[in-house]
Structure 1
């Protein structure tokens, strides 16, 4: 069975020119069948992605002690994560991932209490302040990309609303103070940092937690997506595209009419070294206090809701306790079963 990530042009929603209904239909088809989309027509300037890449190179090129200085506790989804400090498979409750084994390193920034002055009393650590490294130009470049990715994510929710025949402002009601996080990942670690023998885990199998993820990535092999055939398939962005995938919140809303697709990173090892690969994922997760229930319009005749109502905050916290603190998520049986079936 062939596997392909569809390309969807969202320019009609960005520029106001073009056939929005065709874009919405193409998005619906992609989300029903794959859950990953190559998005073009997004309007993000090349200078923004170039600036982000340069900022990432500058930070990840720092000595280990300098990066460690901006590390935060596991419950605070900000700052630096060193290699082998996380295991994404535990976010799905896959107990066979018994140790923190994902060898990527990362740096996170996110929406803080100050981001939403009209929503006082937002809880910590969900809306924690950011911790910035002392790298010239880093914050400006990252803030620029954060703003562009946030714009694309919110544009995509308008596409989603049309594709699902929902009111145009449906997602506005659950994203007024969205838990938005940008995670910058680096896989090009110095020689000797990781053991290249045996099964190499770049980033373990996982689904994303929220509404939608906007991903910038190198055109380097490594990202793999679980297809409907039960096999893992390589995915790399086409020229000028951003990779977009759905998260668990959207799968819950749609009763899995739309797919929160399992994915992982298995970077190639060439001549005993890890080939250089970088990525930056912007997670648009929704309001911490938003209650997510299956949409009645997504429950067909004779069907039942597959999920009980849950707040975005409760769901995201359970996933993060797995990936960042090593606490197996016991509320992800459906996804864990998919992982174990794929492994088999």
Structure 2
């Protein structure tokens, strides 16, 4: 990606990720208060594609216990962590450094080799949670739990809280888009959700630092909405409409929220899935520690996503696609290096950003 990084002055003057208090929805606020929140969400989704939310009501102790066990796992020797690897088509378990390239999920074949520096551990919804449905066991795979004290319990508790927040957000989305309150329920009652825990600092000698460091390549998220807990450490960067990258870090107690490609499809790009990347800072030749945990709320695998009637306008930019087709192609790109045939518009956005960046050099 050749787009430029904004200066501090440019970032302060022209780019903001708004902080939105969703207490009106989590505390049973009145209709007028909810309408204010829905309007704020609509504005952020239309202009930035990212937002910060407070009032989410995830207890701090849940986050503290979750991040503690996450630290315990990533502190294990690399050979122990590698015991929890799964095949590329199974979005579970451990992903070591340089085993993925998120930019390839966009279908941009020239984006690079598998060189994303982060390591990750994934858990998700299992088919066994829905015994009445015949769900594919590759997408709804059994979780692989490491032998780390309290890991499964702490991660499962946080997973449930993040899932609750994701459903609160889709309820707000329905109001913001003038849809029935339960509109998204039928698309998410067996949602293909995954929690990805990320680590960007490794022990010396575990991996060679060669060339420009890519913590996580430029990409858009795949599904409906992402609920992100992150350290207040520089690294996450968001691309604006002018092809400039901006550093983004959460405010105290806030979760970062961004929209995925399926929401962009649904709304015909009234709401955008924004390109973002991670460039972890290097201090005195050492990568500063940065952690994050992204809860991906992706929708039912058998759901068909078509442009909302209220967003069609002069015509839809996207053909209907199932969640399974879309997510499968994205994962084949990022985890297996296969070109994504469904990402033409996303790939075009990358190319436009590159051209704008070249024009500003």
TM-score, normalised on structure 2?
A: 0.93
What's the offset of the Cα at 1:193? Answer: 3.1
Alignment pair present for 1:321 and 2:335: no
Contact 2:105 2:332 in 1 (8 A): yes
CA distance in 2, matches of 1:29, 1:172: 23
What's the offset of the Cα at 1:195? Answer: 3.6
Indicate the residue corresponding to 1:189 in structure 2: 202
CA distance in 2, matches of 1:108, 1:271: 31
SS in 2 for 1:283: strand
Indicate the residue corresponding to 1:42 in structure 2: 56
Out of 17, 21, 27, which is 1:9 matched to? 21
What's the offset of the Cα at 1:254? Answer: 0.1
CA shift digits 1:234-263 (9 cap, x unpaired):
000000100000001100000000011110
SS in 1 for 2:193: strand
Contact 1:196 1:272 in 2 (8 A): no
Indicate the residue corresponding to 2:103 in structure 1: 89
CA shift digits 1:9-61 (9 cap, x unpaired):
11111010251000000000000000101001100110111111101110001
CA distance in 2, matches of 1:268, 1:146: 28
CA distance in 2, matches of 1:61, 1:290: 39
Alignment pair present for 1:230 and 2:243: yes
Indicate the residue corresponding to 1:126 in structure 2: 139
Contact 1:213 1:281 in 2 (8 A): yes
What's the offset of the Cα at 1:98? Answer: 3.5
Alignment pair present for 1:75 and 2:89: yes
CA shift digits 1:179-223 (9 cap, x unpaired):
000000000111233443431110001111100000000000000
Alignment RMSD, CA only?
1.1
Indicate the residue corresponding to 1:297 in structure 2: 310
CA distance in 2, matches of 1:32, 1:178: 24
Alignment pair present for 1:269 and 2:272: no
Contact 2:216 2:279 in 1 (8 A): yes
Can you give the 5+ residue segments of structure 2 that lack an aligned partner in the other structure?
1-9
Can you give the 5+ residue segments of structure 1 that lack an aligned partner in the other structure?
none
SS in 2 for 1:213: strand
More displaced stretch, 95-104 vs 191-200: 191-200
